[in-house]
Structure 1
């Protein structure tokens, strides 16, 4: 005959042991569940997009849709690239555009400022490194390598989301090629009409003005102006500002001989005639130069109020 007390103690011990085992299993399973969820999402995407061939590497998958042409790139090569962060269902979260092209050394293409945080996505650099100029690829970034359990609510990215990253390398090797492409894309997209100065600056002389003195390197003038990037962001603004041409970016020299008091002009300035013009980053030639992006095309609306000959 069994002792009820002994049986009760044995049952309690077994229950406690089972509870500990369940807790340990649960802790282990939580990590496995995240990985399994990532794998399931990636597999589901691959099934739907069966026309693409994917390669699995270190937990992520990628498919090259266009290998590009030319020589193999190394981390110290300058590259200009595009990216689109999407959900597996196709919702776009974050992307570049053809009027604001990212450029850096290949070795730095894993760094992204999104919202108020900086993220490092090593797989993006690795996949871009497998392309040649003009190439394109699709990267399936599992949540544990992307935004994790917390997601990114400001961009609508939920918990444990697999991110589809569409990547591309432009064929351009030089910044001036990118500037020309961005400017022409902007003009065509907005159905604008501009003249082209020999310097490469695009200008639209709205009205020449009626003043006796034209703007020259030796005149002092009063102006209103607004400086924008091609995406519409205003980076600089002046109202009834008295100055001389050398106080502004090199691109303003396109005004010389074209405009007088009462005149209005719009100019689109390539980056080498903007805040990238000087070789000395500490020069005072461009006031507050460090506040502006040195690799950006600049879009100015300028009104000349008066011109005074020195």
Structure 2
């Protein structure tokens, strides 16, 4: 019985030591994170508020309008950086992310899902047009594994610059994405009443009018605004009934055979929120099209 009692006591003490050492190791990571973040703030003469959970935030521009609820749709920007300024991951101003405010903590990075609660909580402090910065301790970010392929070291603290766009609807964001793309590429396009933008690079000389019942022989290349090609005829013209194409292609009724035109199609006139294959939902589409011939 005495031997059993001694063994039980030894087991209990061993478990206590192991638990305490693990706890101290975890606390030491928090302590290292805290010291590094405090040093970064002091070195750069910044002003941040510490959340009770451990992250730091600074609301730069509160924004305007009504307070946002988790069920509200928002379009937002993000830039993940290391504290030395290296950009690790960021959103694009020509493919602007949007979701419900309550889902803005969800990210896919290198095909892996991540939840960053501080991002959602800080965005929730903003109104439309607001901007903020959050510093996330490593234990709330990518942890001890990091993401070496992106340059995220083990136990690295992360800075995230955040913003909520003033636009509140998909139509407005589509217009902004197209505007941003045209400006970035020094392009000037005509805006049709349908909201499709177009640039004619060669006027056609055909005589047959194009209607919704026409069949067109066309060469085309379809891209996302990121430049990614999702479909192309690759030199062999395709025969397509205009009525069987996406709504944005109705703009071709304004042209004649022989026309070469570049068109930018808002998402609702393309594949909408569902997308199609490699085309993501709510994607603005960029087509180069040559109308080879028209059959009525």
Match in the other structure for 1:298: 285
Match in the other structure for 1:147: 142
* 1:247 aligns to 2:234 (yes or no): no
* 1:289 aligns to 2:276 (yes or no): yes
- Aligned pairs for 1:261-300 within 5 A: 262-276=258-272, 289=276, 291-300=278-287
User: Where in structure 2 are there 5+ consecutive unaligned residues?
Assistant: 1-13
Match in the other structure for 1:191: 186
- TM-score normalised by length of structure 2: 0.89
- Aligned pairs for 1:1-310 within 5 A: 26-238=21-233, 239-260=236-257, 262-276=258-272, 289=276, 291-309=278-296
What is the DSSP-based 3-state SS (H/G/I as helix, E as strand, rest coil) of the residue aligned with 1:256? helix
Q: Distance in 1 between matches of 2:213 and 2:15?
A: 85
What is the DSSP-based 3-state SS (H/G/I as helix, E as strand, rest coil) of the residue aligned with 2:272? coil
What is the DSSP-based 3-state SS (H/G/I as helix, E as strand, rest coil) of the residue aligned with 2:133? strand
Deviation, structure 1 residue 169: 0.5
Deviates more, 1:228-237 or 1:108-117: 228-237
8 Å CA contact retained: 2:204, 2:255? no
Coordinate RMSD, CA, aligned: 2.1
Q: Distance in 1 between matches of 2:239 and 2:160?
A: 48
Q: Distance in 2 between matches of 1:39 and 1:237?
A: 52
What is the DSSP-based 3-state SS (H/G/I as helix, E as strand, rest coil) of the residue aligned with 2:60? strand
- Residues 76, 183 of structure 1: alpha-carbon distance in 2 compared, 3 angstrom cutoff: same
Deviates more, 1:35-44 or 1:85-94: 35-44
- Residues 68, 171 of structure 1: alpha-carbon distance in 2 compared, 3 angstrom cutoff: same
8 Å CA contact retained: 2:207, 2:256? no
Match in the other structure for 1:3: none
8 Å CA contact retained: 1:251, 1:274? yes
Match in the other structure for 1:9: none
Q: How many correspondences in the alignment?
A: 282
User: Where in structure 1 are there 5+ consecutive unaligned residues?
Assistant: 1-18, 282-287
- Residues 141, 291 of structure 1: alpha-carbon distance in 2 compared, 3 angstrom cutoff: same
Q: Deviations over 1:162-210 (max 9, x none)?
A: 0000111111111111111111111111111211111111101111323
8 Å CA contact retained: 2:81, 2:158? yes
Q: Deviations over 1:134-160 (max 9, x none)?
A: 111111111111111110012111100
8 Å CA contact retained: 1:274, 1:294? no
- TM-score normalised by length of structure 1: 0.85
Q: Which has the larger radius of gyration?
A: 1
